[in-house]
Amino acid sequence: MYFSSMTFLWVFLPITLLFYLAASHFGKNTAGNIVLLFASLIFYAWGEPVYILLLLVSVLLNYIFGLLLGLEALKYRKSVLALGVAVNIGILGFFKYFNFFAIYINQALGREAVPLSHFALPLGISFYTFQAMSYVIDVYRREVNAQKNFFSLLLYISLFPQLVAGPIVKYKDVETQILKRVNTYEKRAYGVKRFIYGLGKKVLLSNIFGKYVDMILGIEPGQLSTGLAWMVMIMYTFQIYYDFSGYSDMAIGLGSMFGFEFRENFNYPYISKSIQEFWRRWHISLSTWFKEYVYIPLGGNRKGKLRTYGNLFIVFLLTGFWHGASLTFVFWGLFHGFFMIIERLGFGKLLEKNPVKLLNHVYAWVVFVCGWVFFRMDGLRKGFEMIKAMFIYQKGKHDVTSCLSLEVIAALLLGFLLCGILQTMVPKLKNALYNREETSVLQSLFLFAVFFLCIVSLSANSYNPFIYFRF
């Protein structure tokens, strides 16, 4: 069940809100949490009826690890932590990466020595596993207290706004909110505003880009003109941003409707002037997670330059691998890691001193557009073929003119303006979109129009994928 599906918008969300508000009125947060917990389990079971057992087992194991690590007299805390991390990685590894390694082992041996798994990838396993690990690690670090109530921990990990596609919410960020949050009219109003804003990004922009991207990339890269190759990858650059940031906006909005405050996950990454800045703005919850639980424990930048570069290499290798069991994702991660290291070696200082900042933006755009090539294409071979089509001029059988339409032109124009350019030029616009204060009549009319157009679009079109649901 997607946030942009009719079932969610007209059935699941209204019913959940109605029961939640009624329960909260009579029993405050405890009763409201019961409603949220049942709703979250139903939401997950809707798409993964079998794997809800896996989710429950994962939470139970991490609950036990948390209780053990919370004991003052426990002697072997490091061993328990190692076991907890190993179990979480093991669960994620089996369901997400088993076939990846099995295929390469079989190829190396020349026979099917390791039978392939036929288990489907559980929905949201990459996200909830990382949340569970952050909880166990933070209890070990004495940064949070072990949660004594199993159902409270289950609510934290299974909370439907962020369960299947993030943002990755650390337990320490919501520990007090689980039982002591205040659900006000202002929070709910802001939640509705933020949700509609995200829904608009997803339905009115990402879906349009995605439709054309899928159509064009159904053609072999060698048959695309250089101009069309660039255009389709720019369209995908916008598609993945408006898809994922739109989902994050909806998740933050839904959380606010139920009294939770989640941290921002995007901060206009496409206005970045370097790749270092890009990763401070893109998928913030994931980059923060890797920084806090991998990069810093490895030594960060405290062990000398060579160690720092090695740590960055590991982090971006894992970042790519986290996204999927494919060499294309690994290459994408290492591709970004390469430019992170290059910038740390001195290129970053040149960018800072460069008086023509437009060139910095162009550099950053070229890097992350080329990076998205490998993120999107099926296999490294096709990825390099697309890069070749982009950088070595070819006429191709299909050119830009064959795919241009008013819809494409309008989407590209809005995509450029709303990815941060317009908000930077007109700060009041950004404040109007993200402020938690009272919404004006004009804003209300605008939000109503966006919602109406979303409903019309969803009613008329069946194309409505979420890219990050497969991670």
Residues recognised as catalytic = 323
**What own/partner pairs with CB < 8 Å and gap ≥ 24 does 83-90 have?**
84/133, 84/136, 85/133, 85/136, 85/137, 87/61, 88/58, 88/62, 88/129, 88/132, 88/133, 88/136, 89/129, 89/133
User: 360 near 275, Cβ under 8 Å?
Assistant: no
According to DSSP H, which parts of 305-379 are helical? 305-323, 327-342, 348-353, 357-376
Instruction: In whole angstroms, give the CA distance from residue 208 to residue 457.
Output: 10
Q: Which of 217, 212, 235 is nearest to 383 (CA)?
A: 217
SS3 373: helix
According to DSSP H, which parts of 70-184 are helical? 77-109, 125-140, 150-158, 171-174, 177-180
Whether cis (ω within 30° of 0) applies to the bond prior to 14 is: no
The packing angle between helices 380-391 and 357-376, to 10°, is 140
Contacts of 286 (CB under 8 A, 6+ apart): 130, 166, 168, 319, 322
Q: Which of 320, 343, 332, 335 is nearest to 273 (CA)?
A: 343
Backbone angles phi and psi of 224, in degrees to 5: -95, 145
**Chain position carrying tokens 């295929």:** 103
Instruction: In whole angstroms, give the CA distance from residue 454 to residue 444.
Output: 15
Instruction: In whole angstroms, give the CA distance from residue 249 to residue 337.
Output: 27
User: 190 near 255, Cβ under 8 Å?
Assistant: no
